[in-house]
Chain A
Amino acid sequence: MKMRWLIVFFPVVSVIVISLLVREHAVNAAPPQGAAAPVAMSPKESASGKSPEEAAIPDTTLAINSSTPMSQRVVHYEIDAHYDAAKHIVDGSEVLTYHNLTGQPLDHFPFHLYQNAFHPKATWVREAKLYGSRDTTYDKWEDKEYGSEEIKSIEVVGQGDLTSNLQFIQPDDGNKDDKTVVDLPLLKPIAPGAYVQFKIAFHEQLPETQARSGWKRDFVLGGQWFPKVGVWWHGAWNCHQYHATTEFFADFGVYDVKLTVPEFEVVGASGVKIGEVNNSDQTKTLTYHGDDIHDFAWTASPRYKVKDDGVFQGQMGPVRMIILMQPAHWSQVGRHEKILRESLDHFERWYGPYPYKTITLVDPEPGSAAGGMEYPTFITGDSNWFMPGGLHLPELVVEHEFGHQYWYGMVATNEFEDAWMDEGINSYTEVKVLDSILGEKTSVLNLAGATLGDREVQRLGYTSAADLDSIAEKAYDYYNYNSYGGITYGKTASVLLTLEGVIGQETMARAMRAYFMRYRFTHPAKEDFLRTIEEVSGKDLRWYFNQAIYGTQVYDYEVIKLDSFPVNWYEDEKKAGKKKDDKSTVYQSTVWLHRKGDFVMPVEVQMIFDNGEKVREHWDGQSRWTKFTYEKKAKVESAELDPDHTVHIDRNDFNDSQTAEPNGKPARKVSNYWLFLTQWMAQFVAWWAV
């Protein structure tokens, strides 16, 4: 009896005390301008009359192999959406429960309306026209390229319908025609620790696929498709406009999504499917649930062929691999499953466990701009009906997008401001994983005698735009799209590969694992990553990071000249009949090195003499040039900077070495290809025209 009273008494007292504390804090905090005193939403005050338990963010673990939540859950999206496949329209209602963990009252909430980017006057399209974009040139505007996202009504539970309060804002560029961010001032601020619930009705017109979202023929990819609240980050709302070079940033939480689509559609989505009901109007409603994710995407096509019997035994539990393939690509389903499984295996062993119960891999509609995209537990590959085994494009894309599950999905950095921490770090791990699976020299191409490795691809991307922007640049502030791509992906990967040479491969691997395990589900910033590397390596690496991450310095070292001549050259000339290359002749050999770029870094150099002797030297690279001189009974044959090939940021690899005697074989080989091509073309023209 006594125990029963205690069980009742303590929770009641606890709730009252917490409630009083919350009220106290809210009153003490300075209310924002023009805002009324903050209130904690009592569930009983909600229009729906929900109980306090219902207003909280659920602590479900249905979609993860964990008995407890893995992230600090800030949002709970309950979406009920209907897709009109004929008109490519989504009509939906969304109940967003937001937990104010910011430590201060919030008097306004910004929302992303990403689909409004696809309008000719929107910032996304203007930037794409001006700076280029991944897959759309906008040479001319077509109606099917319009996308739109409209909040038809928004009610804040306890504050009523605030639709008329919505106002579009343009925090990045002031483009008044950009409607990708809308701000909602509240009547009363939301107190710290309190929950607020938004009831939103939205209408959306999906465009023909742009930026990995939209429709193509009878296919649709629903990405960035619902009103989505910004992130309170570093003491302020972080809700950027949608730019041609930016991706996304969102809070972790729980997603419960009901999708109603035509009955004939085959559907894939983030999270786990927990229900499917056929409706009387030849539609069906599928219900999905996601835990500890920060976005939700879905796809539908009547023609997908599905393979969903693959299971990967992960460290935290089984992971079901769901693969949706185009019918014409069905023969490649084994390739897709194999690389997905191997990627999972490598990431778990090298960086940390994959906690989710599913991973859905979508082979999107050919010719759509939907290939190669990541959403939580949901990725798109990119293939073609004709894909030779030696061309590893599907493997490259699937591995890359899966890697995002770690850096974008779980670590979840701010892609608007620190794009390199997702795309770049992911490109680095892509190189490591693909090297391990497909070979360092052949991870991209191994066909008809031609080879190409992923680390080389990354470096080529970097050298195509080496000196305009730093890695640390905000994604929307890059000079152009090429610079964004080359630096964010290519330079970051090359910089981290080079860092392996500085701190050691094994240390770098430990640092990457430590970074992932420490910062998963936390939205870290760039210094969190850099400090982790310094901490694990035990080295002060500021000299490197200041140049490679924060600076635009370019690394370009060259062997400027090498020369050998007999020390007693004047005597040799007098000795008639002495053989020119006498083994007893002592030569003075000199090798000159030059730091052409402004990136300063110590480097090794190896000299090879014509008697086979190898000599290694170390140059700190501080001066602009240096020289090494030897007196030996041998002439210097070649000199090579970075003989172990640990530097991957060199703008020009040709001038890293020099030989005393020219070797015309490489040029003859490529010229022979050119000659053959020329002759064949000449014959072809003469065949048809004369």
Chain B
Amino acid sequence: MIENRGLLSSGWAMVTHNKRYIFWFWLLNMTLAEFGTAAFRNQAHAVLDQSLYSDKLVHGFNLSVLIEMFARPEFGPTKAPTMATVYFITLFFMATALFLPGVFQGYASNYRLPRDEFFRTCGRNLWRFIRLLIVAGIVMGIVCGILFGIQGALTKKAGDSTNELLSFEVQMITLTIIFLVMTVVRVWFDLAEVDVVLSDQNAVRRSIAAGFRNAFAGLGRLLADYVLITIVAAFILIGGLWAWMRLVPASGVWGAFCVGQLTLLLLLIPRFWQRGVAVAYYQQRMLVPVVRPEPIMPEPVVAAVVVEPSPSPMIPNIPPAPQES
């Protein structure tokens, strides 16, 4: 338990000491989404702006007006705004992959990472991350495919039962299992990503192997921490939606925007917290232990031998022990 609190609190400390990352990622998320929704917005304005009928969307939320808006030829096919959204979701995904190494470096540093160092780390690790993501994508795809295949088969089987709830219960149980398994995979690749960046590891496969070993070495505490943080995220989402529905009047467009954005901003925190946990775990468990060499006392009758400590990327060189004469 103490160790768990240690990881969680260490990770949390990293997040709070580097709040700016969350802000910038939220800004990036919102900016890209603004571009992504531009097509939708323009089409909505074209249909809604000059009709009194649209007021039914403002004072309350009349679903039939929304459905009718989508059906209007002047709104155009829904494929266009949907595709734009998909493209910008992809862009945010790529941007996250690009900037994440800098975040890891920042979390691992005990000083405020200068901007040039941040971006240098991002650039240095770009190709490594792409390779990592490809491997992660393959692993996740296979695991997901197998698990969802099993889920589909079990749900179909449960559907034959006369117990109506069984199908739902099977779905919930299997989804929970899938979530846990996918979280383990996520832990594995989070550790691999941290290892790539902080070990400056060019051979990505070694980081993947190290991530795998260490994920399973500390699986219980890491999984517990990750799940706990995910639950926090769920509460943030539910709380945000509740505030949106209950506290913002139906016609309060700006109020809704602010509550929505605050929710999305807060939703970024848990994921960065998980990454902080990964960095903390790396620092505590994955660094190659380096034993400070004891100075070797020379035999009185033998000439003194100077022992050089082995170099480590993370431990500064230790000066040799002073020679006795």
Contacts and interface: CB of A to CB of B under 8 A. Distances in A.
B30 A663 contact: no
Contacts of A452: 62-64
A276 interface: no
B89 A685 contact: yes
A525 B164 CA distance: 43
A687 interface: yes
B50 A679 contact: no
A299 interface: no
A560 to B, nearest CB: 12
Most buried by B among A366, A367, A687: A687
Contacts of B100: 690
B181 interface: no
A450 B65 CA distance: 11
Most central of A677, A681, A683 by chain B CB within 10 Å: A683
B137 interface: yes
B190 to A, nearest CB: 9
Interface residues of A, number: 61
Contacts of B110: none
Given A656-B53, A663-B49, A664-B45, A686 B93 contact: yes
Interface stretch (B33-41, B117-125, B276-284): B33-41
Contacts of A690: 93, 96-97, 100, 133
A441 B66 CA distance: 14
A86 interface: no
B51 to A, nearest CB: 4
Contacts of A441: 60, 62
B223 to A, nearest CB: 15
Interface residues of B, number: 70
A453 B62 CA distance: 9
A680 B71 contact: no
A119 B257 CA distance: 55
Contact of A657 (B53, B71, B267): B53
A468 to B, nearest CB: 16
Contacts of A688: 140, 182, 186
B256 interface: yes
A486 B133 CA distance: 49
A682 B41 contact: no
B61 A652 contact: no
A528 interface: no
B23 interface: no
Contacts of B81: 674
Nearest to A459: B64
Contacts of B85: 674, 677-678, 681
A670 B64 contact: no
Nearest to A448: B245
Contacts of B165: 328, 385
Contacts of B140: 688-689
Interface of A: 217-218, 303, 326-328, 366-367, 385-386, 441, 445, 448-453, 456-457, 459-460, 463-464, 638, 640, 652-659, 662-672, 674-683, 685-690
Contacts of B253: 665, 668-669, 672
B168 interface: yes
Most B CB contacts (10 A, CB to CB) among A450, A463, A668 go to: A668
A666 B58 contact: yes
B256 to A, nearest CB: 6
Contacts of A450: 61-63
Given A326-B164, A657-B52, A666-B55, A682 B63 contact: no
Contacts of B44: 666-667, 670-671
Contacts of A459: 64
Contacts of A683: 29, 92, 264, 267-268, 271
B191 interface: no
Contacts of B45: 662, 664, 667
Nearest to A655: B51
A674 B72 contact: no
Contacts of B137: 689
Nearest to A608: B52
A679 B264 contact: yes
Interface of B: 29-30, 32-34, 36-37, 40-41, 44-45, 47-55, 57-58, 60-69, 71-72, 81, 85, 88-89, 92-93, 96-97, 100, 133, 136-137, 140, 159-165, 168, 182, 186, 237, 245, 250-251, 253, 256-257, 260, 263-264, 267-268, 271
A682 B93 contact: yes
Pairs of residues from A and B, 3 with the lowest C-beta to C-beta distance, nearest first: A456-B64, A666-B54, A657-B52
A658 B63 contact: no
Given A652-B72, A654-B53, A669-B58, A678 B89 contact: yes
Contacts of A654: 47-48, 51, 53-54, 68-69, 72
Contacts of B97: 690
Contacts of A658: 50-51
Contacts of B263: 676
Given A652-B72, A657-B52, A667-B44, A678 B88 contact: yes
B255 to A, nearest CB: 10
Nearest to B100: A690
B264 A680 contact: yes
Contacts of A217: 160-162
Contact of B256 (A667, A672, A687): A672
9 contacts: A217-B161, A217-B162, A328-B165, A448-B245, A671-B44, A678-B88, A682-B88, A683-B268, A690-B96
B96 A686 contact: yes
Given A451-B62, A663-B49, 11 more contacts: A303-B162, A367-B159, A460-B64, A662-B50, A663-B50, A667-B48, A671-B37, A675-B34, A679-B264, A680-B264, A690-B133
Contacts of A663: 49-50, 54-55
A597 to B, nearest CB: 14
A451 B182 CA distance: 37
A644 to B, nearest CB: 13
With a 10 A CB-CB cut-off, give which of B33, B88, B237 has the most chain A CB atoms: B33
B65 to A, nearest CB: 8
Contact of B49 (A386, A667, A677): A667
A557 B269 CA distance: 52
Nearest to B84: A678
Given A457-B64, A682-B29, A682-B33, A676 B264 contact: yes
A367 B163 CA distance: 12
Contacts of A687: 271
Contacts of A655: 51
